[in-house]
Structures are given as structure tokens and as C-alpha cells.
Amino acid sequence: MSRELFDMGWRKPIKKTDARRVLAMGFSYYCQTKRFAGFRPRHPVEALLGHRSAAGHAPC
């Protein structure tokens, strides 16, 4: 059932998007993406921290 839900909601958008841009807040989204798409999506906080450090700001 998990794969069917992933295929219905996530598979097409993920295929169209660079994996570095895929974010997942919930544990189930994270796990399904890792299992069925073969990569670990970042949490939105990871993306914000990466953007902050790329802009030259000190880590929090």
C-alpha cells in the first residue's frame, strides 16, 4: 500500500524535479522517497541551513 500511495502522489513530481530540490517534512514521505525513489530528501530546515551557509552566514 505504501508504494501505491507514493506512486499516486509523489512519483511524477519527483521525476520532474532535481533531487536536491525535493524536501520532505514527514517521516513517511522521507522513508517512501528513500525506498522508492532511491534518494534521501532533505528536511526543510536542512535546506534553510544550506542556503544560509551558502550565503556566507555563520552557522546557528
pLDDT in tens, 7-60: 999 899 999 999 989 999 989 889 999 999 999 999 999 999 988 888 777 666
Residue 6: predicted pLDDT: 93
For the beta carbon of residue 41, count every other beta carbon within 10 angstroms.
23
Residue 8: predicted pLDDT: 93
Residue 60: predicted pLDDT: 60
Residue 1: predicted pLDDT: 86
